[in-house]
């Protein structure tokens, strides 16, 4: 530990724990402590709950830059200066759930609902393939008309036509047999953010009919079935505390997802959280770095929400350790309707616009876009 030591006759007069509060009075020592915790995370790949809380409550801009430096190096060691791209098709905004934060929640009567069919989705994939995507992400609300059987048939169709591509699903909570069917149909990956690993917090973000245990069980089942599995959170969601974030980091460290989706919470004007403040951009970047340090091989997107809260969000996300970007492949006509939060970026652009804009953005920071499936590897 790189700390000034109080030495008396060759021995420290205080144990580390005792001398901490004393030293914390002095300028700069908090920062030194945070760096020591970041080093510890890098060495041991885990921190204790009180250490996580300490880090979230005391980190400075300097600590954030320190973590980003380590994270970016780990990302380059593992994946090089190459960014994996995933084309996301938001194929339905119809949802049976009523999550308080989400713009496509069932009770939002202002949302103009839409549902793409098989042909629409295949067209998006065709355009995506031409522009260099080798992963298609199909995301939607929990739409009963797109049940597991119908979706499984579509997955088969996509995999038959594009055997060199990965298919990722992000359609929410299903039952084990349904996930199994989708896996057998050839789906490779599944994104299901846990949203929060703190049960009380979960209950403040979701109505009573939704279950923390069910969502967490889904994640375990997905992993057991052999999906490359993605968890994740919104940073700064209402009622989130440092303790919640500590619980998230501990959960992620134990569950070891293959992918972690982290973006700032952004309010949507037609939800109960319309007046809640947005999440912190800097804290989101810091969390990306901490996830990379804890799980060096993880597939870590610089999310659309990060690009929405700051125009350089996706570039800075990559510089903080992210290695994935997920541009939109949805038809421009429906993009504005898949509004999870206000002011979502890229809703006016075409698939080709997004693809080349992204390439230029990555080039501007010395990275290139990789035209591969971009699978997880140990
Ligand atoms: N129905 C799917 C997909 C949900 S949308 C599912 O349940 O997994 C994808 C993610 O968007 C959510 O998991 C949530 O973390 C994020 N999201 C929703 N509303 C948001 C908001 N207001 N601000 C930021 N992110 C939001």
Mean pLDDT, rounded, for 358-367: 97
Atom of ligand 1 nearest to the CA of 232: 15
Q: How far is the CA of 195 from the centre of ligand 1 (A)?
A: 8
For residue 304 the two structure tokens come to: 């659309």
Strand blocks (E) in 171-212 = 189-191
pLDDT value for 4: 39
Q: Does domain 76-370 have CATH number 3.90.180.10?
A: no
Q: What are 270-329's pLDDT values in tens digits?
A: 999 999 999 999 999 999 999 999 999 999 999 999 999 999 999 999 999 999 999 999
Is-contact 156 130, C-beta < 8 A? no
161: left (phi over 0), alpha (psi -120 to 50) or beta: alpha
238 lines ligand 1 (CB under 6 A): no
Is-contact 238 279, C-beta < 8 A? no
Distance CA 34, CA 36 (A): 5
Mean pLDDT, rounded, for 337-357: 94
Dihedral pair phi/psi, residue 228, rounded to 5°: -70, 120
Distance CA 229, CA 332 (A): 28
Mean pLDDT, rounded, for 68-74: 98
270 lines ligand 1 (CB under 6 A): no
Distance CA 218, CA 6 (A): 51
- Tell me what the pLDDT averaged over the chain comes to: 93
Residue ranges covered by each domain of the chain: 76-370
The least confident of 25-29, 64-68, 272-276 is 25-29
Distance CA 358, CA 325 (A): 8
The pTM assigned to this predicted structure is 0.93
Is-contact 268 226, C-beta < 8 A? no
Mutate-to-test residue for ligand 1 from 94, 96, 101, highest number of ligand atoms within 8 A of CB: 101
Is-contact 70 42, C-beta < 8 A? yes
Comparing CA positions, the residue from 359, 289, 295 lying closest to residue 317 is: 289
Atom of ligand 1 nearest to the CA of 266: 23
Q: How far is the CA of 374 from the centre of ligand 1 (A)?
A: 23
For residue 256 the two structure tokens come to: 């070891």
Q: What are 72-128's pLDDT values in tens digits?
A: 999 999 999 999 999 999 999 999 999 999 999 999 999 999 999 999 999 999 999
Dihedral pair phi/psi, residue 21, rounded to 5°: -60, -35
Distance CA 178, CA 318 (A): 34
Which DSSP letter does residue 159 get?
H
How do strand 166-170 and strand 82-85 relate by DSSP bridges?
Answer: unpaired
Q: What are 205-250's pLDDT values in tens digits?
A: 999 999 999 999 999 999 999 999 999 999 999 999 999 999 999 9
192 lines ligand 1 (CB under 6 A): yes
Mean pLDDT, rounded, for 333-359: 95
Strand partners, 136: 87, 167
258: left (phi over 0), alpha (psi -120 to 50) or beta: alpha
Distance CA 285, CA 295 (A): 15
Sheet holding 368-370, edge to edge: 324-325, 82-85, 368-370
353 lines ligand 1 (CB under 6 A): no
Cβ-Cβ contacts under 8 Å for 148 (sequence gap 6 or more): 174, 177, 178, 179, 181, 182
263 lines ligand 1 (CB under 6 A): yes
Q: How far is the CA of 137 from the centre of ligand 1 (A)?
A: 14
Q: Helix, strand or coil for residue 233? A: strand
H/E stretch holding 91: strand 87-92
CB burial string 80-93: b at 16+ within 10 A, e below = eebbbbbbbbbbbb
Mean pLDDT, rounded, for 257-262: 98
Which DSSP letter does residue 278 get?
P
Instruction: Tell me: pLDDT of 15 over 80.
Output: no
Q: Could you give the count of Cα atoms lying within 13 Å of 45 in the half-sphere of its Cβ? A: 11
pLDDT value for 30: 74
Mean pLDDT, rounded, for 181-207: 98
Instruction: Tell me: pLDDT of 39 over 70.
Output: yes
Cβ-Cβ contacts under 8 Å for 18 (sequence gap 6 or more): none
State the distance between the two ends of the chain, measured CA to CA, in whole angstroms.
Answer: 30
Mean pLDDT, rounded, for 317-342: 97
The least confident of 21-35, 219-233, 336-350, 363-377 is 21-35
Instruction: Tell me: pLDDT of 28 over 80.
Output: no
Q: Band the pLDDT of 32: cuts 50, 70, 90.
A: confident
């Amino acid at each position: 530990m790189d700390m000034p030591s109080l030495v008396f006759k060759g021995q420290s007069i205080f144990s580390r724990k005792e001398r901490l509060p004393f030293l914390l009075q002095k300028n700069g020592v908090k920062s030194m402590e945070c760096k020591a915790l970041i080093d510890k995370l890098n060495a041991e790949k885990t921190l204790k709950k009180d250490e996580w809380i300490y880090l979230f409550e005391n980190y400075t801009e300097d600590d954030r830059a320190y973590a980003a430096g380590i994270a970016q190096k780990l990302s380059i060691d593992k994946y090089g200066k190459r960014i994996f791209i995933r084309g996301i098709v938001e194929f339905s905004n119809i949802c049976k759930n009523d999550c308080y934060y989400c713009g496509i929640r069932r009770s939002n009567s202002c949302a103009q609902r839409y549902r793409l069919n098989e042909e629409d989705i295949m067209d998006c994939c065709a355009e995506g393939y031409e522009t260099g995507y080798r992963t298609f992400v199909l995301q939607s609300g929990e739409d009963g008309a797109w049940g597991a059987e119908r979706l499984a048939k579509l997955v088969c169709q996509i995999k038959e036509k594009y055997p060199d591509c990965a298919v990722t699903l992000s359609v929410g909570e299903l039952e084990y047999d349904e996930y199994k069917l989708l896996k057998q149909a050839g789906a490779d990956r599944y994104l299901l953010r846990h949203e929060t690993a703190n049960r009380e917090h979960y209950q403040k973000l979701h109505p009573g009919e939704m279950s923390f245990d069910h969502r967490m069980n889904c994640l375990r089942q997905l992993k057991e079935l052999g999906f490359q599995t993605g968890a994740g959170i919104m940073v700064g969601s209402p009622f989130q505390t440092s303790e919640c974030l500590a619980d998230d980091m501990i959960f992620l460290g134990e569950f070891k997802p293959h992918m972690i989706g982290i973006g700032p919470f952004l309010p949507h004007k037609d939800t109960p959280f319309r007046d809640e403040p947005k999440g912190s951009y800097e804290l989101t970047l810091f969390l990306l770095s901490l996830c990379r340090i804890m799980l060096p091989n993880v597939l870590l997107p610089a999310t659309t929400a990060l690009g929405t809260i700051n125009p350089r969000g996706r570039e800075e996300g990559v510089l903080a350790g992210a290695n994935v970007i997920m541009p939109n492949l949805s038809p421009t006509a429906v993009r504005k309707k898949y509004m999870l939060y206000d002011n979502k970026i890229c809703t006016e652009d075409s698939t080709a616009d997004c693809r080349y804009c992204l390439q230029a953005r990555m080039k501007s920071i010395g990275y290139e876009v990789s035209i591969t499936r971009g699978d997880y590897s140990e």
